[in-house]
Amino acid sequence: MSTIDSSNKPRLPRDERRALLLSAALEVFTAAGYHSAAMDEIADRANVSKPVLYQHFPSKLELYLAVLDLHIDSLVFEIQRAIASTPDNANRVHATVDAYFAFIEKEGEAFRLLFESDMSVEPSVRERLNRMTYDCAAAASAVISIDTGLPKEASMLLGVGMIGYAQVTARHWLDRDSALTREQAVELVNNLMWRGISGFPRN
């Protein structure tokens, strides 16, 4: 049950409050960029006082990293789940591509924050983005290594290539304001990617 503060306004549980703040921060960071975003604006968007915002996140950078972590974990989970969803490799590739485009369709603002951020040169941000690519590619490379017998580094290179291809084409689709439907885009990207990776003989 929610507690009541001295002004008789319901106080949200901490986890709900944090989620609200992260959602508001995503909107502001995406619209203004990190450097132009103001903590005052984020607090106003979340309908909380600035001291409440700082209770949860002591600095703007910590808030930004928390937003990144939330959406990186979400994307990595969806990619890992797609790769593990079927033993059929053609279906794996399709599911992986579709996972990227589904993420964009649902969370376009988060995707822009991950891949078009004005903070990508910040070491703590770059480390997280590199980890995201690595974790997604590692899931793909494990299957490639088992199926082809290629050594670890070769399989990882192919995994990074597949993930990078999905990321770049998904970003293009988003920038074009979805001139193609998601289904059309996924089929085009899937066909090109599968024709490439299926050329490697199975072990």
**For 10-35, how does the pLDDT look when each residue is reduced to its tens digit (9 = 90+)?**
566 778 889 999 999 999 998 888 89
What pLDDT band is residue 1 in, cutting at 50, 70 and 90? Answer: very low
Residue 10 phi/psi, 5-degree rounding, is: -60, 135
Note whether residue 39 is domain-resident: yes
Tell whether 5 is covered by a domain: no
Please report the DSSP string for 32-56 in residue order. H-TTT--HHHHHHHHT--HHHHHHH
The helix/strand/coil state of 11 is strand
Q: Is residue 157 part of a domain?
A: yes
Higher-pLDDT residue of 187 and 13 is 187
Average pLDDT over every residue of 118-137:
90
63 within domain boundaries: no
The per-residue pLDDT of the chain, averaged, comes to 88
CATH value at residue 183: 1.10.357.10
Amino acid at 82: A
* CATH classification at residue 25: 1.10.10.60
The total number of structural domains that make up the chain: 2
**Residues spanned by the domain of 168:** 68-198
For 80-91, what is the mean pLDDT? Answer: 93
Q: What DSSP assignment string belongs to 117-166?
A: -TTTTSHHHHHHHHHHHHHHHHHHHHHHHHHH---HHHHHHHHHHHHHHH
Place 3 in a pLDDT band, splitting at 50, 70 and 90.
very low
pLDDT (0 to 100) of residue 7: 45
Return the sign of the alpha-carbon dihedral for residues 183, 184, 190, 193: negative
Do 73 and 157 fall within a single domain? Answer: yes
Kindly report, residue by residue over 29-78, the tens digit of the pLDDT.
Answer: 988 888 999 999 999 999 999 999 999 999 999 999 999 999 999 999 99
Looking at the fold, whether 116 and 148 belong to one and the same domain comes out as yes
